[in-house]
Chains A and B, each alone.
Chain A
Amino acid sequence: MRRSSAASKKKSDSITSSTTDLFRSGPSKATSKEMDRIDHLFNQYANTSSNLIDPEGIEELCSNLEVPHTDIRILMLAWKMKAEKQGYFTQEEWRRGLKALRADTLSKLKKALPELEKEVRRQSNFADFYAYAFRYCLTEEKQKSIDIETICQLLDIVMGSTFRAQVDYFVEYLKIQNDYKVINMDQWMGFYRFCNEISFPEMTEYNPELAWPLVLDSFVEWISEKQA
């Protein structure tokens, strides 16, 4: 996860209102004891002045979970929390995520991770997660695109385990081409569709006359030339 030093825009709500929200939402009612434990865990990693878990805190959390902090599971956790800002978890987000995972201790959280991964990888969720991953990396106010280098890292994390070959080739291509310096959400999602719909490396179904993003047309052309 890339660290950002930009100040947090989100302030956590007062405790009472958040708790009420949590009580009202979700199928199961969290006991107040559970919530206390969740809060307690939050405070272990949060920065006391900002009342957020910042990049340092996340790194500590990761080391305690015995998960590398560039691991996809942290991103999945962020997704579950619906965390808005990369590198930071607010108290509300923390509560949301851990409550949903029914984890109020570190060990429960650790045990919940494999289950979380299965959930995210379900076809119905993965597209949403994939889009989330992109948005999560947009750090500036009006930012719409992400630079090539970050995209390459993100692709590796998010899609590397399931579509190794496509990711490797695409990353190679992105690095040597000159047409694009950034990738936008439409192109990002296009790659996901590409991995799911087009056989690789044959790519016989690919038709550049359809609405595939131009960057993928060029990518496919580049591969074909390489193979020739």
Chain B
Amino acid sequence: VQERFGNQSFRMERKTIDLEQGWDYMQTGITKLKRILEGLPEPQFDSEQYMMLYTTIYNMCTQKPPHDYSQQLYDKYREAFEEYINSTVLPALKEKHDEYMLRELVKRWSNHKVMVRWLSRFFYYLDRYFIARRSLPPLNEVGLTCFRDRVYNELHSKVKDAVIALVDKEREGEQIDRALLKNVLDIYVEIGMGQMERYEADFESFMLLDSASYYSRKASSWIQEDSCPDYMLKSEECLKKERERVAHYLHSSSEPKLVEKVQHELLVVYANQLLEKEHSGCRALLRDDKVDDLSRMYRLYHKIAKGLEPVANIFKQHVTAEGNALVQQAEDTATNQAANIASVQEQVLIRKVIELHDKYMVYVVECFQSHTLFHKALKEAFEIFCNKTVAGSSSAELLATFCDNILKKGGSEKLSDEAIEDTLEKVVKLLAYISDKDLFAEFYRKKLARRLLFDRSANDDHERSILTKLKQQCGGQFTSKMEGMVTDLTLARENQTSFEEYLGNNPAANPGIDLTVTVLTTGFWPSYKSFDINLPSEMVKCVEVFKGFYETKTKHRKLTWIYSLGTCHLNGKFDHKPIELVVSTYQAAVLLLFNTTDKLSYNDILTQLNLSHEDLVRLLHSLSCARYKILTKEPSTKTVSQTDSFEFNAKFTDRMRRIKIPLPPVDERKKVVEDVDKDRRYAIDAAIVRIMKSRKVLGHQQLVSECVEQLSRMFKPDIKAIKKRMEDLITRDYLERDKENPNMFRYLA
């Protein structure tokens, strides 16, 4: 502070200024300021005037008591504002309304801030010592508080109404003065002096209420009139506009609150009605492949808590319905048509299911941004219909047959390698939805065995490729046996080479017939029924020779011969021309009987070969009643009966030189299901014992649920089956029921 002045109207010694006198002087400054603020012609303060005013205050504050007028000056400072507000500012505001009032307010506030700035400079000395000493509000604050208490408190409600009216006007499409609103709302913020309380309580809460009710009205009429896509477009637009509103004049902190209100009124309240609209709702959009609309639906509901759940639900229902329809279609076709056409339909079903999966996966990824809810919905939908039976075949069997068709010769030669790889990939993915994975494994294994043993596999690489994929998805245990089977064949080939070498070195041992033996490792291959048929002597010699050879290689293995899988090439010396017959070993055994006798009765053959009726009928049928009649049957009825007799058909001929006489395959389904059920019993036992061994004591429900979880990778165990196994384990003293609590079980070591 400069104590020296260049102005000569002051004496060098300070004369005591008395209050009234000093205040009069200050008043001139204040009046001048007011005139400037009112826009009246008045020059600005120059530095001399400023200094004088400042010094006056300074002097009056530093005078010796009783002339130190700090307190009085502090009060008069405030009074200056109050007087001005009461006399001029308030009346000016009160006579105006709406937008005019808003403009006046903005002007007056701006003026007030200027007034505070200037006056607080004049009175600055109070800020330095007096205020601090007495812990009083600083000058700036006093000034603002005056405006707040006198002007703001009076008018904020009216102002708020005017602002909101303008906002609604803008919502209806009219142009409004955004800058004005921004300035008005800045007042609410500034008047809070660092807190957002005033803005929130005096403006924002009302604005939110009004916005909610505005959109509530709009929504209630739109929901009646508009289609779902149109409604969504409007909603999206509204949200966009509201965000812009915030950016232009509302305080940024209002954005989340406002957006939430708008979303609530437009999207939450009417969610059900919107999504379920009959001809244009979610279901219809899915049905009509309206990808854009669905994407919009996702965008809108994504930000709402639990907003996506109903959408995901409808999606799931839709996919399930489509899947069920495919299954039903296949079922209907199968029951209406002949067996072999039906099986083609079943294969078509698998292909369609794959296509369905591809289609809706695209939806999940693109429309629904790979959100977990939708992945889950798709998964659950597929789990529902992928486990349905079609015409007696389980989905596990259908899938295994589908794979067989791709992998066998003549199955999918038209497809490129890439297409096949792609299909195999998708098939393995489909397996994830099937709960009876162990059943699939067993069917697959049976068909794989057939492909491998009868050289019907189209491509080794594809065979290995699918095993790799299955291993990745289901674990090593799942594919270990299958891999063993494939390896066995490679080893078998090596073995055959050694066998041929052995024969070369031991000409006496040679059976005189070309013999190829495939040695299989028992554990890997499906179990085959094979009973001791009385082989013709030529074949007996073959068996002996091979046994001799095998014993030179290893003494610790037992060979069990599976004649039912053997193939034989016979030369049929027919009258017209000789024809090579490719038949099964059993068929060959039957035919060779006719080398020694011309005519044989059913019973003769039965006794000589030692077969069951069921098998013999099948064999004889294939040789005498099917396409190629190698034997003539008497009487020549269509089916074989036990009183028939058979004769070599010398007159048989065919334009081919070599023909295959197929044996219709036995229905393996029943056996597969039985085998799998048996394995499941062991698996459940093992799981129960494993769990109880580690837990020692466990409640029933927990045991059941842990059991289900452990086994879920391979199959979904029936709760009753688990209970049954538990009872069995109790009888076998692995478990006991706890004496105190009958719902707990203990492990018995």
Contact (Cβ within 8 A) B743 A186 = no
Specify which chain B residues have a CB less than 8 angstroms from the CB of A209 in the assembled complex.
701, 704, 719
Question: In the assembly, what is the distance between CA of A142 and CA of B347, in Å?
Answer: 54
Q: Which B residue sits closest to A209, measured CB to CB?
A: B701
Question: Interface 1/0s, chain B 731-745, versus A by CB < 8 A?
Answer: 100000100001111
Question: In the assembly, what is the distance between CA of A187 and CA of B730, in Å?
Answer: 10
Specify which chain A residues have a CB less than 8 angstroms from the CB of B727 in the assembled complex.
184, 186-187, 213-214
Contact (Cβ within 8 A) A214 B720 = yes
Q: Which A residue sits closest to B744, measured CB to CB?
A: A211
Contact (Cβ within 8 A) A144 B701 = no
Question: Interface 1/0s, chain B 691-711, versus A by CB < 8 A?
Answer: 000000001110010000000
Specify which chain B residues have a CB less than 8 angstroms from the CB of A186 in the assembled complex.
727, 730-731, 737
Specify which chain B residues have a CB less than 8 angstroms from the CB of A156 in the assembled complex.
none
Specify which chain B residues have a CB less than 8 angstroms from the CB of A184 in the assembled complex.
727, 730-731
Residue of A144, A189, A193, A217 near B723 (CB, 8 A) is A217
A176 contacts chain B at the CB level, 8 A cutoff:
no
A6 contacts chain B at the CB level, 8 A cutoff:
no
Residue of A144, A145, A193, A217 near B742 (CB, 8 A) is A193
B35 contacts chain A at the CB level, 8 A cutoff:
no
A127 to chain B, nearest CB (A): 10
Question: In the assembly, what is the distance between CA of A217 and CA of B743, in Å?
Answer: 14
Question: In the assembly, what is the distance between CA of A217 and CA of B720, in Å?
Answer: 9
Contact (Cβ within 8 A) A214 B724 = yes
Contact (Cβ within 8 A) B723 A214 = yes
Which one of B700, B724, B730, B742 has the highest number of Cβ atoms from chain A below 10 Å of its Cβ? Answer: B742
Specify which chain B residues have a CB less than 8 angstroms from the CB of A228 in the assembled complex.
none
Specify which chain A residues have a CB less than 8 angstroms from the CB of B699 in the assembled complex.
211
A147 to chain B, nearest CB (A): 14
A7 contacts chain B at the CB level, 8 A cutoff:
no
Question: In the assembly, what is the distance between CA of A141 and CA of B731, in Å?
Answer: 15
Given contacts A145-B731, A186-B730, contact A211 B745 (CB under 8 A): yes
Specify which chain A residues have a CB less than 8 angstroms from the CB of B731 in the assembled complex.
144-145, 184, 186
Residue of B720, B724, B737 near A211 (CB, 8 A) is B737
Q: Which A residue sits closest to B732, measured CB to CB?
A: A144
Question: In the assembly, what is the distance between CA of A111 and CA of B745, in Å?
Answer: 43
Q: Which B residue sits closest to A186, measured CB to CB?
A: B730
Specify which chain A residues have a CB less than 8 angstroms from the CB of B720 in the assembled complex.
214, 217
Question: In the assembly, what is the distance between CA of A186 and CA of B732, in Å?
Answer: 12
Given contacts A186-B737, A217-B720, contact A211 B730 (CB under 8 A): no
Specify which chain A residues have a CB less than 8 angstroms from the CB of B704 in the assembled complex.
209
Which one of A144, A190, A213, A217 has the highest number of Cβ atoms from chain B below 10 Å of its Cβ? Answer: A213
Q: Which B residue sits closest to A145, measured CB to CB?
A: B731
Question: In the assembly, what is the distance between CA of A186 and CA of B726, in Å?
Answer: 11
Question: In the assembly, what is the distance between CA of A209 and CA of B731, in Å?
Answer: 21
Question: In the assembly, what is the distance between CA of A190 and CA of B730, in Å?
Answer: 13
B691 to chain A, nearest CB (A): 15
A191 to chain B, nearest CB (A): 12
Question: Interface 1/0s, chain A 137-159, versus B by CB < 8 A?
Answer: 00000001100000000000000
B719 to chain A, nearest CB (A): 8
Question: Interface 1/0s, chain A 200-224, versus B by CB < 8 A?
Answer: 0000000001110110010000000
Question: Interface 1/0s, chain A 162-203, versus B by CB < 8 A?
Answer: 000000000000000000000010110110010000000000
Question: In the assembly, what is the distance between CA of A144 and CA of B730, in Å?
Answer: 10
Q: Which A residue sits closest to B738, measured CB to CB?
A: A211
Question: In the assembly, what is the distance between CA of A187 and CA of B700, in Å?
Answer: 15
Specify which chain B residues have a CB less than 8 angstroms from the CB of A193 in the assembled complex.
742
A131 to chain B, nearest CB (A): 11
Question: In the assembly, what is the distance between CA of A190 and CA of B743, in Å?
Answer: 11
Specify which chain B residues have a CB less than 8 angstroms from the CB of A189 in the assembled complex.
737
A167 to chain B, nearest CB (A): 20
Question: In the assembly, what is the distance between CA of A6 and CA of B723, in Å?
Answer: 35
Contact (Cβ within 8 A) B723 A210 = no
Q: Which B residue sits closest to A218, measured CB to CB?
A: B720
A174 to chain B, nearest CB (A): 15
Specify which chain B residues have a CB less than 8 angstroms from the CB of A214 in the assembled complex.
720, 723-724, 727
Specify which chain B residues have a CB less than 8 angstroms from the CB of A190 in the assembled complex.
742
Specify which chain A residues have a CB less than 8 angstroms from the CB of B701 in the assembled complex.
209-211
A58 to chain B, nearest CB (A): 30
Contact (Cβ within 8 A) B730 A210 = no
Q: Which A residue sits closest to B736, measured CB to CB?
A: A186
Q: Which B residue sits closest to A214, measured CB to CB?
A: B723
Question: In the assembly, what is the distance between CA of A185 and CA of B213, in Å?
Answer: 71
Q: Which B residue sits closest to A213, measured CB to CB?
A: B727
Question: In the assembly, what is the distance between CA of A153 and CA of B737, in Å?
Answer: 25
Specify which chain B residues have a CB less than 8 angstroms from the CB of A145 in the assembled complex.
731
Interface residues of A in 11-38 (CB under 8 A from B): none
Question: In the assembly, what is the distance between CA of A186 and CA of B742, in Å?
Answer: 10
Question: In the assembly, what is the distance between CA of A145 and CA of B732, in Å?
Answer: 11
Q: Which B residue sits closest to A193, measured CB to CB?
A: B742
Residue of A144, A211, A217 near B700 (CB, 8 A) is A211
Question: In the assembly, what is the distance between CA of A218 and CA of B745, in Å?
Answer: 21
Question: In the assembly, what is the distance between CA of A209 and CA of B700, in Å?
Answer: 9
B725 to chain A, nearest CB (A): 10
B746 to chain A, nearest CB (A): 12
Question: Interface 1/0s, chain B 500-538, versus A by CB < 8 A?
Answer: 000000000000000000000000000000000000000
Question: In the assembly, what is the distance between CA of A186 and CA of B729, in Å?
Answer: 11
Q: Which B residue sits closest to A180, measured CB to CB?
A: B727
Specify which chain B residues have a CB less than 8 angstroms from the CB of A213 in the assembled complex.
723, 727
Question: In the assembly, what is the distance between CA of A213 and CA of B730, in Å?
Answer: 11
Specify which chain A residues have a CB less than 8 angstroms from the CB of B743 in the assembled complex.
210-211
Question: In the assembly, what is the distance between CA of A190 and CA of B742, in Å?
Answer: 9
Q: Which A residue sits closest to B733, measured CB to CB?
A: A144
B378 to chain A, nearest CB (A): 30
Question: In the assembly, what is the distance between CA of A210 and CA of B700, in Å?
Answer: 7
B723 to chain A, nearest CB (A): 4
Interface residues of B in 196-245 (CB under 8 A from A): none
Specify which chain A residues have a CB less than 8 angstroms from the CB of B745 in the assembled complex.
211
Question: In the assembly, what is the distance between CA of A187 and CA of B723, in Å?
Answer: 12
Q: Which A residue sits closest to B699, measured CB to CB?
A: A211
A50 to chain B, nearest CB (A): 33
Question: In the assembly, what is the distance between CA of A217 and CA of B724, in Å?
Answer: 11
B458 to chain A, nearest CB (A): 47
Interface residues of A in 64-84 (CB under 8 A from B): none
Question: In the assembly, what is the distance between CA of A211 and CA of B723, in Å?
Answer: 8
Question: In the assembly, what is the distance between CA of A190 and CA of B723, in Å?
Answer: 14
Interface residues of B in 135-169 (CB under 8 A from A): none
Q: Which A residue sits closest to B724, measured CB to CB?
A: A214
B191 to chain A, nearest CB (A): 65
Question: In the assembly, what is the distance between CA of A217 and CA of B719, in Å?
Answer: 11
Question: In the assembly, what is the distance between CA of A189 and CA of B737, in Å?
Answer: 10
Specify which chain B residues have a CB less than 8 angstroms from the CB of A187 in the assembled complex.
727
Question: In the assembly, what is the distance between CA of A190 and CA of B719, in Å?
Answer: 18
Question: In the assembly, what is the distance between CA of A121 and CA of B700, in Å?
Answer: 30
Q: Which B residue sits closest to A182, measured CB to CB?
A: B731
B734 to chain A, nearest CB (A): 12
Interface residues of B in 321-356 (CB under 8 A from A): none
B727 to chain A, nearest CB (A): 6
Q: Which A residue sits closest to B731, measured CB to CB?
A: A184
Question: Interface 1/0s, chain B 40-65, versus A by CB < 8 A?
Answer: 00000000000000000000000000
Question: In the assembly, what is the distance between CA of A213 and CA of B704, in Å?
Answer: 13
Question: In the assembly, what is the distance between CA of A144 and CA of B736, in Å?
Answer: 13
Question: Interface 1/0s, chain A 35-47, versus B by CB < 8 A?
Answer: 0000000000000
Question: In the assembly, what is the distance between CA of A5 and CA of B206, in Å?
Answer: 98
Question: In the assembly, what is the distance between CA of A215 and CA of B173, in Å?
Answer: 75
Can you name 14 A-B residue pairings with CB atoms under 8 Å? A184-B727, A186-B730, A186-B737, A189-B737, A190-B742, A209-B701, A209-B704, A210-B701, A210-B743, A211-B742, A211-B745, A214-B720, A214-B723, A217-B720
Task: Enumerate the 4 nearest inter-chain pairs by beta-carbon distance, A residue then B residue, closest first.
Answer: A211-B700, A214-B723, A211-B743, A186-B730
What 14 additional pairs, Cβ within 8 angstroms, besides A145-B731, A213-B727, A214-B723?
Answer: A184-B727, A184-B731, A186-B731, A186-B737, A190-B742, A209-B704, A210-B700, A211-B737, A211-B743, A211-B744, A211-B745, A213-B723, A214-B724, A217-B723
